[in-house]
Copies of this chain bind each other. A is one copy, B any other.
Amino acid sequence: LTPPEQPLTYASTGVDLEARQGVVARYKEIAKRATGPQVIGGIGPFAGMFALEGPYRDPVLVATTDTVGTKGKVAQLAGRFDGLGRDIVNHCINDAFTTGARPLFFLDTIVSGDLGDDAKLALVSGVADACAEAGVVLLGGETADMPGTYVPGGFDLIGFILGIVERDRIIDGSRIEAGDVLLALPSNGLHTNGFSLARPALGIGAGPSEDDRPRLERYEEDLGETLADALLRPHRCYLPDLKPAVESGLLKGMAHITGGGLGENIPRILPPGLGARIQTGALEPPPIFAFIQGSGLIDEAEMYRVFNMGFGMVFAVSPGDVEAVRALVPEAVRCGEVVSGGGVTLVDPAGPNPR
């Protein structure tokens, strides 16, 4: 081992603790947008504290974690980081909310090699705004600077959410039976899944990096907007629209359509021995899906295996409750039914491969 020519310092290795303190102070300022009287001691020194105001009869805590994954790569190439905070918060809210839980607080972690302070602050800013909009407290976060682990510009944004639900109000699919009706709310695009297929299909990030931004920012006739706008549209939060239906107690199961599409996510809420028939034509996929499919020559079945294809949230109700639920969620469309057997059968009433 050759000794270094100069004494080593942490700053010389790319980790500047003092600079980092400055950014942390700004994180704390941003986090104040999404705080509340339940928070004790602000962003705590080693952990956040949240008073569990009640009373609760038989409370169940609900927790989940996810990441923006390679949607971050597109954001990096486009130089737009503000939507990703909303992506991860809304993704986590939707996941926790499938149990009927009210989300209480959120924590984020940014992992990166060389991501700049402005990008990090934009990420945290989006997180705080999405939390504030949903009435969720931003209780803490972490930034891990990892020289030598990421490709230049590489990063991920990870979220954790904590919610609470009374045990007798848990929505877990166990009461679903054959003949129940499936309703759906539309997605607004890819949400936070399928980017590892979308990117190569669109040729983004494949060639010289200076080609990516003009391509992402060019107006596309077929989309009616730029690729960046279509791809980076933030994951929709279903909490406000579905809350009245959840509180009604009429929803028997809720599936958030994420990675693996309808075929993988709907069975996660179905009791053994049950499957689903879905009329894929019930919701018009946003045009970005046909654009990706055409660019990548992707098989229709593969599209449905990977992407949400316009389905954001699918929920099961008894046939007799359909009208009551639709009155509470006017945007909901009937998209199928629960059937005996297993698996998810996709039926397109407009005929095979109409797109």
B-contacting residues of A (Cβ < 8 Å)?
1-4, 6-10, 13-15, 17, 40-41, 44-52, 56, 58-67, 69-70, 72-73, 94-96, 98-99, 101, 104-105, 107-109, 111, 139-142, 144-151, 154-156, 158, 160-165, 167, 170, 172-173, 194, 196-197, 199-203, 205, 215, 255-256, 259-260, 264, 268-269, 295-299, 302, 305-306
Contact = CB atoms under 8 A, between A and B. Distances in A.
Nearest to A203: B1
Dominant secondary structure at the A interface: mixed
Determine how many copies of this chain the complex contains: 2
B45 A268 contact: yes
A279 B14 CA distance: 30
Nearest to A194: B10
A196 B7 contact: no
A62 B49 contact: yes
A95 B149 contact: no
Contacts of A150: 149-151, 154
B51 A58 contact: yes
A46 B96 contact: yes
Contacts of A46: 64, 94-96, 98-99, 255-256, 268
B63 A47 contact: yes
A46 B296 CA distance: 30
